[in-house]
Structure 1
């Protein structure tokens, strides 16, 4: 039953109650806020903006379920066994429908984030507080626009045409029909273009994790490239490359460890702290300073092991046995195998399983036996992505030598130090061959970073798969209609404008 019809029945039922003194019914909670009583000062604006970021930590998003949405739509993960929840196994197998929580949860979480962002964008500008610095006010509103664009980017990549809300919904019948992708992209390009000059290049220690100019630029580049606008994306990426404060860290592993969060390679992180995770979908259940996540527990070789690295991923790492000069050291920072040592002193060895995920694992410093709540931030954007996207843009605009040079910057990182392209296994004599190198480098560099599924979606949308670089998701290869996910049942049931 549609939500608005439920509300209509409830309202109609109230008409049958005896009349009461209107003064008794007109009560305002003195300890609560309404929209009109909130957004009165700078503290209100800061808390409202922080609440948008807080949505990230909920179980619907980076606390848990958006991990599964990304992992189960990629070729880097495989089922760890029958313990994998049915809805996640169905997404991996392509047997899903629009009722599974792997779709309904992230959809709800992203639209909650959008609603919180819309509130700041809508009501923040009207705040009149002489103690509120106008630059800070403008920055908070710019952060909200970045976060709204972030959410819409994932919605449009996964679902295509989706409802577009640019202000808060104020009535039960305030739902909207889907908007075409082009309309959503136009809003995001305009918003990001507007806020890039407003956002800080970096933040002090008290504000780490807030959106920056570089984060907005990289998000804009993602959006442009998804539409096939490689020339425009190249301009944005080149500005980050030449003028941003970012560089590759020497030690690849530092991108996934707790002590090296917000390093010089990091552009945008999903932040976690504390030791609590109570499965709240909206991230409201714990204090802002006490939010962990169970993503490591889900994929841990010493935990639930619901997902494991795929055979395709493991085989994609270059090895001496394949004719290359050395093994790719990123493999040992990504996958742990039975008998491998771990922990700060390397005194523990993996006995529980044949292999599992090591990247984003606390196993580099301890034995996380039992139920483990992780507080390692997820690096949603880092400088290596700028390099690999520049390589793709250069390949598209016809400068292959530049494309290869950007890929080699990643491989030349001291802790990686892999042979330069072209190699015996990755010749680069044609555009398609360079794409093969790009797709390979992206897979081994970014696996388990909640990144692969959107990369596959972009290449799929722009026709980059070929005989040399085939579609890796078998059920999409045989049924291209599954390239876009169905709108979740919770939206269909509650939105009368969507069939």
Structure 2
């Protein structure tokens, strides 16, 4: 783990040399190059340290790029767009388990531990900050939320992993693997504390920071993955009714967009009534992405390449046939989720619209209801406004939204054998204005679970949730007793990356 530890030590220093805000209005950069020993004396400096954790969260190692691949390639909802799909991503999609050298998996591992080390640094320094204790305590809550998020990614995908609770101070400060049960207990402690410390909301200038609702939502998701449905329901009910579904389904995936001339062409609906936690991205109009993956510095690109990977120019990822055929006839979410041959793009751009034809779509075909066409994901794309070969996006990633919470509550009710109550939550989602699908009426536990599984796929498809759903349901034996296995022969847990095992003598 020496390489990882060295990265962590460097990361600790970078907390104070490259601090970047989590919000478009929080782009903070310290110009005096202080050290970790001389810094973190005030709440303002502590906030800069927390901003640096958010910076890693939105870097290319995590939500800016590689994170969505570790989920979507293993969730049954995606397929290869063609031979252009790079080998490490194709391996995640097609192999039962990736090799320990897989670069995508390794980047997510490193990014999570960088987040953890930065959070540990903030939490180690926080007790000495006394000038603004109210802000300090809120920042402690944010750091614990972000640390909990990173550890959840690790334990759910890798199982037993090293547990670091303090800042890494030495390149030989190795840790062996801790049992997954201990990791879950640590996450639950962090998120419980975060929920107590965090506010319900912020002013507009602080949008993007973790809230009480985000902490309770993540706590509920963690408890469900752990298998404690009663405790999960308690956590999720603290969120119920505090948010509401947007009247327009697409508002969950739009945002501020600039064209190739750096002109603003769209203003979206970020931080809407349904959004519980968003990772902020900004299209600076420079067509640039942080390929260094470090997320550092106020002048660094703040964009995501999600729209490129799932678009028609790179064409790396397309919807799977299984996903396409999950939609019921007449479900408007299909067209909100998928573009296909014959559809028109650039309808909102002010320039001549384009009809999608096979020759302009650099992607493989897919089959829905026996019809072969080229299709791609509409979520988070910018094709209503910009049709460019390379244009990294600035649309915020909605990591937790209220529809997810409603369907998790439905799953909790199904698990305890109350299908009627499960149906109530499902039907809240189905009756959203603009969707208005007929209500479901499950009569048994298994009927309710099947309804939940269906609804989560069509409502939340390609939102980096299905992989965790599959792991949870597989443990319960619901494949194939309730629905067919979505990803046959898949190995549940990733191998520990080679970057870790090759250098850490405590992990073999």
What is the TM-score with the length of structure 2 in the denominator?
0.86
Q: Match for residue 86 of structure 1? A: 87
Q: Against the structure 1 CA distance between its residues 2 and 227, is the aligned structure 2 distance closer, same or farther, given a 3 Å change threshold?
A: closer
Q: Please say if residues 227 and 462 of structure 1, whose CA atoms lie closer than 8 Å, have aligned partners that are also in contact.
A: no
Q: Match for residue 369 of structure 2? A: none
C-alpha displacement of 1:75: 0.5
Q: Match for residue 103 of structure 2? A: 101
Q: Match for residue 249 of structure 1? A: 246
Q: Match for residue 121 of structure 1? A: 123
For residues 35 and 367 of structure 1, the distance between their equivalents in structure 2, rounded to whole angstroms, comes to 43
For residues 343 and 217 of structure 1, the distance between their equivalents in structure 2, rounded to whole angstroms, comes to 39
For residues 164 and 58 of structure 1, the distance between their equivalents in structure 2, rounded to whole angstroms, comes to 22
For residues 472 and 80 of structure 2, the distance between their equivalents in structure 1, rounded to whole angstroms, comes to 24
For residues 271 and 148 of structure 1, the distance between their equivalents in structure 2, rounded to whole angstroms, comes to 18
Q: Against the structure 1 CA distance between its residues 65 and 286, is the aligned structure 2 distance closer, same or farther, given a 3 Å change threshold?
A: farther
Q: Please say if residues 278 and 286 of structure 1, whose CA atoms lie closer than 8 Å, have aligned partners that are also in contact.
A: no
C-alpha displacement of 1:167: 0.6
Q: Match for residue 27 of structure 1? A: none
For residues 63 and 2 of structure 1, the distance between their equivalents in structure 2, rounded to whole angstroms, comes to 26
Which of 470, 474, 499 matches 1:490?
499
Written as runs of structure 1 = structure 2, the 5 A alignment for 1:420-459 is: 420-422=439-441, 428-459=442-473
Written as runs of structure 1 = structure 2, the 5 A alignment for 1:17-56 is: 31-56=32-57
Q: Match for residue 273 of structure 1? A: 282
C-alpha displacement of 1:31: 4.9
CA displacement 1:185-207 (0-9 Å, x = unmatched): 11111122122121010110110
Instruction: Give the match's secondary structure for 1:408.
Output: helix
Q: Match for residue 310 of structure 2? A: 299
Q: Please say if residues 226 and 462 of structure 1, whose CA atoms lie closer than 8 Å, have aligned partners that are also in contact.
A: no
Q: Please say if residues 5 and 170 of structure 2, whose CA atoms lie closer than 8 Å, have aligned partners that are also in contact.
A: no
Q: Match for residue 383 of structure 1? A: 402
Q: Against the structure 1 CA distance between its residues 69 and 285, is the aligned structure 2 distance closer, same or farther, given a 3 Å change threshold?
A: farther
What is the TM-score with the length of structure 1 in the denominator?
0.87
Q: Match for residue 224 of structure 1? A: 223
For residues 398 and 470 of structure 1, the distance between their equivalents in structure 2, rounded to whole angstroms, comes to 22
Q: Please say if residues 410 and 422 of structure 2, whose CA atoms lie closer than 8 Å, have aligned partners that are also in contact.
A: yes
Q: Match for residue 422 of structure 2? A: 403
Which of 380, 383, 401 matches 1:360?
380
- Is 1:212 the counterpart of 2:222? The answer is no
C-alpha displacement of 1:287: 2.8
For residues 125 and 217 of structure 1, the distance between their equivalents in structure 2, rounded to whole angstroms, comes to 24
C-alpha displacement of 1:238: 1.4
For residues 490 and 78 of structure 1, the distance between their equivalents in structure 2, rounded to whole angstroms, comes to 28
C-alpha displacement of 1:329: 0.4
For residues 344 and 36 of structure 2, the distance between their equivalents in structure 1, rounded to whole angstroms, comes to 55
For residues 218 and 76 of structure 1, the distance between their equivalents in structure 2, rounded to whole angstroms, comes to 24
For residues 485 and 381 of structure 1, the distance between their equivalents in structure 2, rounded to whole angstroms, comes to 23
Moved more, 450-459 or 255-264: 450-459
Q: Please say if residues 400 and 431 of structure 1, whose CA atoms lie closer than 8 Å, have aligned partners that are also in contact.
A: yes
Q: Against the structure 1 CA distance between its residues 261 and 31, is the aligned structure 2 distance closer, same or farther, given a 3 Å change threshold?
A: closer
Q: Match for residue 419 of structure 1? A: 438
Q: Against the structure 1 CA distance between its residues 4 and 213, is the aligned structure 2 distance closer, same or farther, given a 3 Å change threshold?
A: closer
Give structure 1 stretches of 5+ with no counterpart.
7-29, 320-326, 423-427, 477-481
CA displacement 1:409-446 (0-9 Å, x = unmatched): 10000110011113xxxxx2321222111111001111
Q: Match for residue 9 of structure 1? A: none
Q: Match for residue 269 of structure 2? A: 260
For residues 76 and 237 of structure 2, the distance between their equivalents in structure 1, rounded to whole angstroms, comes to 29
Q: Match for residue 472 of structure 1? A: 486
Q: Against the structure 1 CA distance between its residues 84 and 407, is the aligned structure 2 distance closer, same or farther, given a 3 Å change threshold?
A: same
For residues 270 and 299 of structure 2, the distance between their equivalents in structure 1, rounded to whole angstroms, comes to 21
Please identify the structure whose Cα radius of gyration is greater.
1
C-alpha displacement of 1:107: 0.5
Written as runs of structure 1 = structure 2, the 5 A alignment for 1:121-200 is: 121-129=123-131, 133-200=132-199
C-alpha displacement of 1:3: 5.5
CA displacement 1:132-154 (0-9 Å, x = unmatched): x2111100111000000000011
Instruction: Give the match's secondary structure for 1:68.
Output: helix
- Is 1:328 the counterpart of 2:331? The answer is yes
For residues 220 and 501 of structure 2, the distance between their equivalents in structure 1, rounded to whole angstroms, comes to 31
Q: Please say if residues 4 and 110 of structure 2, whose CA atoms lie closer than 8 Å, have aligned partners that are also in contact.
A: no
Q: Which runs of 4+ in 1 moved over 6 A?
A: none
Number of aligned residues: 451
